[in-house]
Homo-oligomer: A and B are copies of this chain.
Amino acid sequence: MYRSHNCGELNASNINTEVTLAGWVQNSNDKGFINWVNLRDRYGITQLLFDKGRSNENVFEMAKTLGREFVIQVKGTVIEREAKNKNLPTGDIEILVTEMTILNAALTPPFTIEDKTDGGEDIRMKYRYLDIRRNPVKNSLLFRHKVAMEVRKYLSDLDFCEVETPYLIKSTPEGARDFVVPSRMNEGQFYALPQSPQTFKQLLMVGGMDKYFQIVKCFRDEDLRADRQPEFTQIDCEMAFVEQEDILNVFEGLTRHLLKEIKGIEVDKFPRITYDYAMKTYGNDKPDIRFGMEFGELNEFAQHKDFPVFNAAELVVGIAVPGAGNYTRKEIDGLIDWVKRPQVGASGMVYAKCNDDGTFKSSVDKFYDQDDLGQWAKITGAKPGDMIFVLSGPANKTRAQLSALRMELATRLGLRKPEEFAPLWVVDFPLLELDEESGRYHAMHHPFTSPKPEDMALLETEPGKVRANAYDMVLNGNEIGGGSIRIHDKATQQLMFKYLGFTEEEAKAQFGFLMDAFQFGAPPHGGLAFGLDRLVAILGGQETIRDFIAFPKNNSGRDVMIDAPAAIDDAQLKELHIKIDTI
């Protein structure tokens, strides 16, 4: 061992102890006759003292040659510091160095290894191994480990068994694109990397494992939007002989456990709202409920006058923004421009200021009197000093637009507090969603989700209205997990594939093994999967997942540090029976 202690553990109780430390030079403060060097490792920082009067001359001179990030080993005595640093666990002491070895020199790093670095995103990704030395990244990785350990402990204590499912599986053209792996031993054939272990965990239920979980990498070859990764980690779970209620209780328990153990926060029973309620009230199936601004539907009090825009709209809907009644004309115009951007897509926005004296001033005073506006205020819950913003148009689009505005305003008003946690369940998701392009229905969750028995009859007549036994857990405006009760009999599964447009042959070729399995005694079962990357980021009070992943890829799916993907040898291609198709 190159050290007797780490750089974070020495304090006044160690004074006069001889110690050996090893670590990185954080910085030096050379006053000529006296030279302080901060030595850093994962555990902390300890101040080293090189004193012309008290240190060996060679060591004293060598210390002057140390650059940032040099790796050194020192021996010395723990002494009391004159100028104590109360912000540092080791701030009462320093090490009077008697011996030193430079274990490895270092080039000057391309960015500073400080909590607030001068390095931009690209350079930090290229030198990710240096970025990891910085506390924000290092602590995020340690935090992730702690969360994963607590997840495993909690589930294992409940008799869940972690089972490793295979990574080399079969491609299915459903859902997102698969990453595939050419097989050398099976010419012309390919494995696929799993988008999730869905069918395997269901087979484990058929196999009687009863309670399964796995923290597992999954893969999706998608065009990467910001803050998505082609490989991501799921907490994947499945249980047999359960109903929806059982699953919600177990994973609500897990989340409550994490909030308590990791964040020291006690949370009440999670609210449960339906998908329909979420869409009507927040315009969104993953609402952030840390703040109000719930939607008020205004058709009744907006379509009785001569304002043609509202009269022509399917939906007129508003929100009350707390304390925004004093927004200037310029601020308001800025917001109107914001909702009219193509990313949001509103064609305009109406506003009504709620004056402190209980009167209103709106952009449509020509059409609406104070009574009308008073009704708007009542329905949106606006109080004196608030501002009501109203959008109108086709119901779904308008809700989405108002949801975007609601989130934007909450962010601007500082209502999305990272250390406040408001989890909830959204239940009763639709089974199917209409793909407007193809006019076909797709499974909203996946093809293995069971419809609610009481809605089965609607499958033939109004497929869009069939509700599923499907649920999402939402935390602070993010979907952190979702799941469903599965189909567990062959006939229903066949029917589902039929409604999803599979021919019988396609269904058999792709999922025959699962339907076969259902014939040999499949128990009722269901489960869910949490996105671990997102979960740890939110628990860590961050909006972006990148610092919680040791070696993330950029938006082109590249690892810029190792420079992957890359070309491979012709011999390798030949062995795999493939050629590059340059077109």
Contacts and interface: CB of A to CB of B under 8 A. Distances in A.
Q: How many copies does the complex hold?
A: 2
Interface string A20-41: 0010100000000000000011
A1 B41 contact: no
B566 A208 contact: no
A71 to B, nearest CB: 5
A206 B71 CA distance: 10
A558 interface: yes
B182 A520 contact: no
B564 A170 contact: yes
A563 interface: yes
A415 to B, nearest CB: 33
A175 to B, nearest CB: 13
A167 B219 contact: yes
Interface in A1-49: 1-3, 6, 22, 24, 40-43
Interface in A535-583: 549-551, 553, 556-559, 561-569, 572-583
Given A179-B168, A217-B167, A488-B104, A173 B41 contact: no
A163 to B, nearest CB: 5
Contact of A177 (B184, B489, B577, B581): B184
A570 to B, nearest CB: 10
B520 A567 contact: no
A450 interface: no
Contact of A188 (B231, B563, B567): B567
Contacts of A183: 557, 565
B207 A520 contact: no
A408 interface: no
Given A165-B550, A488-B104, A70 B521 contact: yes
A556 to B, nearest CB: 6
A259 interface: no
B128 A1 contact: no
A107 B207 CA distance: 14
Interface stretch (A238-246, A323-331, A427-435): A238-246
A24 to B, nearest CB: 6
A338 interface: no
Contacts of A574: 581
A191 interface: yes
Nearest to A217: B167
B165 A553 contact: no
A241 B22 contact: yes
Contact of A127 (B22, B106, B520, B573): B520
Nearest to A182: B180
Interface string A165-195: 1111111010001111111111111111100
A347 to B, nearest CB: 35
Given A166-B551, A549-B164, A519 B106 contact: yes
| Top 3 A-B residue pairs of the complex, sorted by shortest distance between their CB atoms | A132-B207, A106-B521, A170-B564
Given A105-B521, A129-B206, A203-B551, 12 more contacts: A40-B208, A42-B209, A103-B524, A109-B521, A129-B517, A164-B233, A168-B553, A168-B565, A173-B572, A179-B181, A573-B581, A577-B581
